[in-house]
Structure 1
């Protein structure tokens, strides 16, 4: 998995990143909804599907203008019962945006923008600060025997998203806490049960991490989705 991400960045550095799918057809411009979360830094998670042009699992760090950032943080503070926030960006070709980031416009929603979410800001300027994780989903992927999560964040906030493999699968975003210093994303393994989300109840769990056991405090579930990844 890491080799895939490193190869992706090598292609970007060489300026030859391909926007082609395995079958050679270029992605079409589309609206790529993303979950957003975090207060110290703002992270975005592309909401994937197993069909083009949404077949990418991506974690980004975003930058809003200061007024929008404060508005987003304040709304989270005022509505703690809402764990999920999303953005509805303008249409673009996703791999092109990742390979050559440029500012884009987006609306911010409390809740899911396609499922009754409440718009709290519109036409705000968004900039990609960092591409933390990138993976092209492939029907040829071999389903792993473990339940793996992508761990990322900073010294103030940490998050984990389920590493998607092959349909049927699930999406899960968790706010967590570990004693790890994170300079880049890491992978940890929850258990041997495939397609089993981590239950969040304020507990501490033990996971396999870099060949050792790591204690993870489960703080909050931010997103859980099965339907979009059924097939």
Structure 2
């Protein structure tokens, strides 16, 4: 049985220098005028063995507005290169929750030649949408579950990482405002990225409504 999509796996408690989740937790940044989201780039080992999705905003209103405009409706990759912090502080029941952090906002991948566009920005955590500990055990799955992010017309699919090896996948698409927001499941064929037609069929929309992939990566999830 698959683990629940919304999972809090750390008990309430303090965080500090001995916390095994302390590190630099890079994230994919996506969204637009309706909202901004950050997805932690996970691995199967500490301190990065958690899949975490946040709804965020930039504390500086001018930067926030400009960033939303630049990202809106586009699939070009942006990433967050944050200061070090304990990822456990994003757990819903953390005794010392992380409300904000400083980070460079990078056009492209911050470790693969991306260019910093907004340095040392303050990122405010509005809501933790997903907090799920990854299992390091080898496991094969014949299906993929995608969590829907967003409730307006601009939405995203984020793959639940539930097997090993696996892949991290974020897809942008357009939806009607009253479309369901439930997760969707498709067949999995190894490490192949699903195409637009497969995703559209699961969502019961036309393939042209799938704008494209924001992020797809396999190397860190082998």
Normalising by structure 2, report the TM-score: 0.82
Give the 3-state SS of the residue equivalent to 1:86 in structure 2. strand
- 1:133-176 Cα shifts (integer Å, max 9, x gaps): 12100124743321221112121311001111232111111002
Give the 3-state SS of the residue equivalent to 1:215 in structure 2. coil
Provide the residue aligned with 2:103 in structure 1: 106
- 1:9-63 Cα shifts (integer Å, max 9, x gaps): 8x7xxxx43689xxxx841421100011111200111111111110111111002
Q: Which runs of 5 or more residues in structure 2 are unaligned?
A: none
Are residues 1:51 and 2:52 paired? no
For 1:147-162, list aligned pairs within 5 A: 147-162=144-159
- 1:166-219 Cα shifts (integer Å, max 9, x gaps): 32111111002344243xxx3211225343322248x97211xxxxx7336311
For 1:118-137, list aligned pairs within 5 A: 118-137=115-134
Are residues 1:188 and 2:181 paired? no
Provide the residue aligned with 1:215 in structure 2: 205
Aligned length: 209
Are residues 1:5 and 2:6 paired? yes
Provide the residue aligned with 2:82 in structure 1: 89
Normalising by structure 1, report the TM-score: 0.79
Provide the residue aligned with 1:27 in structure 2: 20
Provide the residue aligned with 1:164 in structure 2: 161
Provide the residue aligned with 2:67 in structure 1: 72
Q: Is the 8 A contact 1:175 1:219 kept in 2?
A: yes
Aligned mates of 1:204, 1:147 — CA distance in 2? 10
Question: Which is bigger in relative contact order (C-alpha 8 A, separation at least 6)?
Answer: 2
Q: Is the 8 A contact 1:36 1:85 kept in 2?
A: yes
Q: Is the 8 A contact 1:155 1:181 kept in 2?
A: no
Aligned mates of 2:219, 2:160 — CA distance in 1? 16
Aligned mates of 2:101, 2:138 — CA distance in 1? 32
